[in-house]
């Protein structure tokens, strides 16, 4: 099959969003072939990469970018642009070619030639923090699709508040077989269907090929039926027939539910022997094959050369939304000044000025009437004040709302009929939730926070890792954070999760010890604009250790002396969360034996590690003996207590029993902590 067969289908109908005038002179096929050639050439030059998918989806992408997508290469951050997510991130040359051809400054021809090289704007998989125009970092299959669901939720939520005049855009996705095989896709499409996200349009690269070969080796799902069952409008199209693609996209514009378009394509379209085969998926085609493809596609140009007329047509496509952008600027300017300022503040991601006052008021109230409550309840107490003050917060829970305490009394749920609420019932979909939150944060204007049990952070982990990589502010409230949850037993009791989360770069793992630390940690999480946070919170009640009002956020340094020694400390007891109170009791036992100990609360390892060395040394101190206390594994603790330090925690899975018994059973008690210190001191 030759690409010329569908070439003249290019001439595109009127009416669509500013069909590029210049493109009428250049056939659709030549525009699409420019993408194919760049993909082949860049992968060949890099000696690695994935040519097949970009070559297969060039026709679909050309129709989308030259007729439907509203975007402005001069302003990749224009808030009301359509979002385009390349969920099949391995096909990164597709988006790099599109960004270059449509005129984004970030991706020049030189950058295409530097595909996959160190420091280039064209890394192996698309990275939004490297390449303006890339909306999200993709590569781990399924994530992009789930991010897009979050983006589409964000769009509707912000439109409900600020109006369609300034928020009214679509979210397009290109997803592959792999994206749809991943479990996360189930969570994402179910949520999207439930919420009737009618401005979400997924273009499925239905090429029937994955790495191992034909999809029939491992899959026989009818994706159209599957999406329909989840409440989507779904249809099939020949992914090489430009007119047919345009027609289904046109229809999709007025859908009443999310749209799946299964585009039947041939992977490596145009390649003489590899088209339609897994061999086109993930390695350079080779000189001979490329030569044959150039011949088949009637693209007799030098590598990396895009003829002027084709480039001009593409550049014109990149200018299509100029008028729409200018009109949007006018509509924004016409908005009530206060509303406009609020919209702009939220899109910048700046926090409201009132936040400090609100946190102070919560702390004053805790000083006036201390609360001996679980930190999950302390979190709810903080949220009661934070939510009204920080309206960009959109909370949720993966079906554990009552346990996670993430929904305050005033919060209305987001529904398909009304997106103005601030709470999302994500259903039992932790992975989809975490990925959708990434999409909301990427969209801008929203600070998403979630709720689930800490043990299920494993179910969110791939998305949390990407949030950390992308530097996105998402906040995960993860309750039931240790054996302290009691009777549910070891399946529900996190042991290794704090260490596993702390191992992710660019994340903040908070484990507050009481109600005061909880609101302080919330403040720090909100202020951490470029990284995700985890709030690990207890099920069980804890005493409020800080009874006096202190304006300073003591958690900001990651650790602080919460209970000083009486005299020169021989022992430093370091603890987090629920174990800080245990350490304070151990301090008393030691004092009774004439041993001076200090207690350091360590609500956040990462913030402590970020302190200048002298500050860190002062916090850690120079007592003869260091003891760490955390109802979790030791891994990571040596950075604080040293390899000679004693550790009181867990080294096995937990068990099912009332929590007080469990603390005794596993030896995490004031007596055990005091004993550990005494043994190290040589007094025992």
Return the active site residues: 430
Of residues 178 and 636, the one with the C-beta less far from ligand TPP: 178
Establish if 209 lies at the interface with ligand TPP (CB under 6 A). Answer: yes
Of residues 125 and 325, the one with the C-beta less far from ligand TPP: 125
Are the C-beta atoms of 259 and 201 separated by less than 8 Å? yes
Establish if 52 lies at the interface with ligand TPP (CB under 6 A). Answer: yes
In angstroms, how far is the first alpha carbon of the chain from the final one?
A: 84
Contact stretch for ligand TPP (CB under 6 A) within 193-201, 206-214, 499-507, 565-573: 206-214
**What is the distance between the alpha carbons of residues 548 and 528, in angstroms, rounded to a whole number?**
26
Establish if 205 lies at the interface with ligand TPP (CB under 6 A). Answer: yes
Are the C-beta atoms of 436 and 188 separated by less than 8 Å? yes
Say how many residues touch ligand TPP, by CB under 6 A: 19
Q: Is 536 helix (H, G, I), strand (E, B) or coil?
A: strand
The CB-of-236 to ligand TPP minimum distance in angstroms stands at 16
Establish if 140 lies at the interface with ligand TPP (CB under 6 A). Answer: yes
**What is the distance between the alpha carbons of residues 452 and 603, in angstroms, rounded to a whole number?**
20
The full DSSP string for 157-222 is HHHHHH-TTT----EEEEEEHHHHHSHHHHHHHHHHHHTT-TTEEEEEEE--EETTEEGGGT----
Of residues 36 and 325, the one with the C-beta less far from ligand TPP: 36
Establish if 270 lies at the interface with ligand TPP (CB under 6 A). Answer: no
Of residues 207 and 397, the one with the C-beta less far from ligand TPP: 207
Tokens of 624: 């003869």
Are the C-beta atoms of 88 and 205 separated by less than 8 Å? yes
**Alpha carbon 617 to its chain's center:** 34
- In this structure, what DSSP letter does residue 14 have? S
The CB-of-125 to ligand TPP minimum distance in angstroms stands at 8
Establish if 492 lies at the interface with ligand TPP (CB under 6 A). Answer: no
The CB-of-54 to ligand TPP minimum distance in angstroms stands at 9
Q: Which residue has the CB atom at the shortest distance from ligand TPP?
A: 178
The CB-of-610 to ligand TPP minimum distance in angstroms stands at 31
Helix H or strand E segment including 629? strand 625-629
Measured at the CA of 155, the angle between CA 150 and CA 156, to 5 degrees, comes to 100
CA dihedral of residues 336, 338, 340, 344 (deg, nearest 10) = 180
- Please select the residue that binds ligand TPP; options are 38, 88, 525, 562, rule is CB under 6 A: 88
Establish if 177 lies at the interface with ligand TPP (CB under 6 A). Answer: yes
Establish if 144 lies at the interface with ligand TPP (CB under 6 A). Answer: no
Establish if 207 lies at the interface with ligand TPP (CB under 6 A). Answer: yes
Contact stretch for ligand TPP (CB under 6 A) within 208-216, 409-417, 445-453, 485-493: 208-216
Establish if 284 lies at the interface with ligand TPP (CB under 6 A). Answer: no
Are the C-beta atoms of 595 and 683 separated by less than 8 Å? yes
Of residues 205 and 289, the one with the C-beta less far from ligand TPP: 205
Establish if 59 lies at the interface with ligand TPP (CB under 6 A). Answer: no
Establish if 53 lies at the interface with ligand TPP (CB under 6 A). Answer: yes
Are the C-beta atoms of 513 and 576 separated by less than 8 Å? yes
Backbone angles phi, psi at 440, to 5 degrees: -65, -45
- Interface residues toward ligand TPP, by CB under 6 A: 52-53, 88, 90-91, 139-141, 176-178, 182, 205, 207, 209-211, 267, 281
């Amino acid at each position: 099959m030759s690409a010329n067969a569908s070439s003249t289908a290019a001439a595109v109908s009127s009416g669509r969003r500013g069909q590029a005038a210049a493109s009428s002179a250049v056939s659709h096929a030549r525009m699409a072939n420019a993408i194919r050639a760049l993909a082949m050439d860049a992968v060949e030059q890099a000696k690695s990469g994935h040519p097949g998918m970009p070559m297969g989806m060039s026709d679909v992408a050309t129709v989308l970018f030259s007729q439907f997508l509203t975007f402005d290469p001069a302003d990749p951050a224009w808030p009301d642009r359509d979002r385009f997510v390349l969920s099949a991130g391995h096909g990164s040359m597709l988006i790099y070619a599109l960004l270059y051809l449509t005129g984004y400054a970030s991706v020049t021809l030189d950058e295409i030639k530097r595909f996959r090289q160190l420091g280039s704007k064209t890394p192996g998989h698309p990275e939004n923090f490297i390449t303006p125009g890339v909306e999200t970092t993709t590569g781990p299959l399924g994530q992009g699709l789930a991010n897009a669901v979050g983006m589409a939720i964000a769009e509707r939520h912000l439109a409900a508040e600020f109006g369609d005049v300034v928020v009214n855009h679509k979210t397009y996705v290109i997803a592959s077989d792999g994206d749809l095989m991943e479990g996360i896709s189930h969570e994402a499409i179910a949520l999207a269907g439930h919420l009737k996200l009618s401005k979400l349009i997924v273009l499925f690269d239905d090429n029937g090929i994955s790495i191992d070969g034909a999809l029939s080796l491992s899959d026989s799902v009818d994706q159209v039926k599957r999406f329909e069952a989840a409440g989507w409008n779904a249809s099939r199209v020949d992914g090489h027939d430009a007119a047919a693609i345009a027609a289904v996209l046109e229809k999709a514009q007025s859908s009443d539910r999310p749209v799946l378009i299964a585009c039947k394509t041939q992977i490596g379209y145009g390649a003489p022997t590899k088209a339609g085969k897994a061999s086109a998926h993930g390695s350079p085609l080779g000189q001979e094959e490329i030569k044959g493809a150039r011949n088949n596609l009637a693209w007799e140009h030098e590598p990396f050369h895009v003829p002027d007329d084709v480039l001009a047509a593409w550049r014109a496509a990149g200018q299509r939304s100029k008028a729409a952008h200018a009109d949007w600027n006018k509509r924004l300017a016409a908005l009530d000044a206060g509303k406009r300022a609020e919209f702009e503040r939220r899109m910048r991601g700046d926090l409201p000025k009132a936040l400090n006052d609100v946190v102070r008021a919560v702390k004053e109230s805790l000083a006036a009437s201390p609360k001996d409550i679980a930190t999950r309840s302390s979190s709810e107490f903080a949220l009661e004040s934070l939510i009204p003050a920080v309206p960009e917060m959109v909370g949720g829970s993966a079906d554990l709302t009552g346990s996670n305490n993430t929904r305050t009394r005033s919060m209305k749920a987001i529904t398909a009929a009304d997106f103005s609420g601030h709470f999302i019932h994500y259903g039992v979909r932790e992975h989809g939730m975490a990925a959708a939150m990434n999409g909301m944060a990427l969209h801008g204007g929203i600070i998403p926070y979630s709720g689930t049990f800490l043990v299920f952070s494993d179910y969110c982990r791939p998305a949390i890792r990407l949030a950390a990589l992308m530097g996105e502010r998402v906040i995960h409230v993860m309750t039931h954070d240790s054996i302290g949850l009691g009777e549910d037993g070891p399946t529900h009791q996190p042991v290794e999760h704090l260490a596993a989360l702390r191992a992710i770069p660019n994340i903040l793992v908070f484990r507050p010890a009481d109600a005061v630390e909880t609101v302080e940690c919330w403040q720090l999480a909100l202020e951490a604009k470029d990284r995700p946070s985890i709030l690990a919170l207890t099920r069980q009640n804890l005493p409020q250790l800080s009874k006096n009002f202190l304006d300073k956020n003591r958690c900001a340094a990651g650790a602080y002396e919460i209970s000083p020694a009486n005299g020169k400390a021989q022992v430093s007891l370091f603890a987090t969360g629920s174990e800080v109170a245990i350490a304070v009791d151990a301090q008393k036992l030691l004092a009774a034996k004439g041993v001076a100990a200090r207690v350091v609360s360590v609500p956040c390892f990462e913030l402590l590690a970020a302190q200048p060395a002298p500050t860190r040394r002062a916090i850690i101190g120079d007592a003869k003996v260091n003891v760490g206390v955390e109802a979790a594994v030791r891994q990571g603790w040596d950075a604080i207590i040293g390899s000679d330090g004693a550790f009181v925690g867990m080294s096995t899975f937990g068990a099912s029993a009332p929590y007080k018994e469990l603390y005794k059973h596993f030896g995490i008690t004031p007596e055990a902590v005091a004993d550990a210190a005494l043994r190290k001191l040589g007094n025992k």
